């Protein structure tokens, strides 16, 4: 087996195209040692001039050839001239001559002196990646006031463009390497699949302010509908997507420090007290707004609250155990 140049003690100097330290310039008529090849081409026993002529046969492939990449049933081609590939025959021959001197009769194969622009190769592989890659798509929980559904997730794909660039780089400097590459696509899994979204949407509440309806969804289907009261125009119930933050039975009322609270402003009213408007149950949503029972049953179906969602006491007691903390809540009109 020929000795690969990178294993020789003079590797660095030769790869840089310079003679090893103390090397003597080629003498007139000097021949390359036996068992020496350059890029797989046998140049043993040849003079510098003869080896130069033999290696010239590689120029067209190295400087005027192309690399073809197949990915996702698409073909991409990079011309070597577009990568500014340049073959230095003289340097390649000197590598072989100096390596033969140092090998002391051992078989040696030196790399050809070929340069190219790595930026061009990386740009080529990046274009392939952009063309064939597809981002994964997460499953989504889609909530409207009247329906809840889960979208399908989709597996994405991409290529290892960095590894492909390295493979192409090796082929550009070594004429023995096949220049047709078939790239394997890598699967990119979505972060959230439909099963996870279904679990997330196992219980959902929607509050339709225009219809004064609270809908309870279980496993994407409407299970219960309740009448509610919502905020007055001066104290509107917020619209948006929220979640149940906490739950309480016979909640304490921390009275807002607001003029509408009158003499109770800033005080605390015990749960179950006749002065406490939060009857029976409390399910917090956002910024002091929540779902609670009311002693003013006639207000249901109107805009009567100070932002909260009021329910008849039997209804809020019925809803309470059906709704875990973290349940998504959509409020809209």
Per domain, the residue ranges of the chain are 201-332
Q: What is the pLDDT of residue 109?
A: 97
Low-confidence ranges of the chain (pLDDT < 50): 1, 3, 5-17
Distance CA 14, CA 33 (A): 16
- The one catalytic residue in 9, 152, 306, 308 is 308
Q: What is the pLDDT of residue 104?
A: 87
Active site residue 306: no
The region, left, alpha or beta by phi > 0 then psi within -120 to 50, assigned to residue 307 is left
Distance CA 326, CA 204 (A): 10
Give the residues across from 329 on adjacent strands.
205, 242
Could you tell me the end-to-end alpha-carbon distance of the chain, in angstroms, rounded to an integer?
80
CB 128 within 8 A of CB 117: no
Across 228-247, b (16+ Cβ under 10 Å) vs e yields bbbbeeebebeeeebebeeb
Q: What is the pLDDT of residue 177?
A: 94
Q: What is the pLDDT of residue 162?
A: 95
CB count, 10 Å around CB of 36?
29
Q: What is the pLDDT of residues 8-65, one digit of tens each?
A: 333 333 333 455 655 678 888 899 999 999 999 999 999 999 999 999 999 998 999 9
Distance CA 102, CA 121 (A): 34
Supply φ then ψ for residue 51, to 5 degrees.
-65, -35
List the structure tokens of 217: 């969804």
Q: What is the pLDDT of residue 10?
A: 33
Q: What is the pLDDT of residue 262?
A: 63
Distance CA 225, CA 213 (A): 7
- The one catalytic residue in 10, 152, 292, 306 is 292
Active site residue 292: yes
Q: What is the pLDDT of residue 126?
A: 96
Architecture of the domain delimited by 201-332:
Beta Barrel (2.40)
How are beta strands 203-208 and 213-218 bridged, if at all?
Answer: antiparallel
């Amino acid at each position: 087996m020929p000795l690969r140049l990178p294993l020789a003690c003079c590797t660095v100097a030769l790869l840089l195209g310079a003679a090893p330290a103390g090397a003597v310039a080629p003498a007139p008529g000097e021949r390359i040692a036996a068992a020496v090849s350059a890029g797989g081409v046998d140049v043993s026993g040849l003079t510098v001039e003869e080896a130069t002529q033999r290696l010239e046969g590689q120029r067209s492939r190295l400087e005027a050839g192309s690399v073809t990449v197949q990915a996702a049933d698409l073909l991409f081609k990079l011309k070597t001239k577009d990568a500014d590939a340049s073959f230095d025959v003289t340097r390649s021959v000197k590598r072989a001559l100096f390596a033969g001197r140092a090998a002391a009769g051992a078989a040696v194969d030196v790399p050809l002196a070929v340069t190219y622009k790595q930026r061009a190769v990386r740009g080529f592989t990046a274009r392939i990646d952009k063309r064939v890659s597809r981002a994964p798509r997460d499953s989504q929980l889609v909530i409207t006031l009247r329906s809840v559904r889960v979208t399908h997730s989709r597996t994405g794909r991409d290529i290892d463009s960095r590894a492909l660039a390295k493979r192409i780089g090796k082929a550009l400097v070594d004429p023995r390497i096949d220049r047709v590459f078939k790239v394997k696509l890598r699967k990119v899994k979505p972060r959230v699949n439909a099963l996870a979204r279904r679990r997330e949407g196992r219980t959902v509440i929607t509050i339709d302010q225009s219809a004064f309806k609270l809908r309870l969804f279980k496993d994407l289907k409407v299970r219960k509908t309740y009448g509610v009261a919502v905020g007055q125009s001066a104290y509107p119930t917020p619209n948006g997507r929220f979640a149940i933050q906490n739950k309480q039975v016979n909640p304490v009322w921390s009275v807002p420090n607001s003029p509408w609270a009158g003499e109770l402003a800033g005080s605390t009213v015990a749960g179950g007290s006749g002065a406490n408007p939060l009857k029976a149950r409390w399910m917090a949503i956002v910024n002091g707004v929540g779902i609670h029972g009311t002693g003013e049953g006639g207000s249901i179906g109107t805009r009567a609250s100070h932002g909260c969602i009021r329910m008849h006491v039997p209804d809020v007691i019925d809803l309470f155990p059906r709704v875990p903390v973290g349940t998504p809540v959509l409020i809209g009109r």
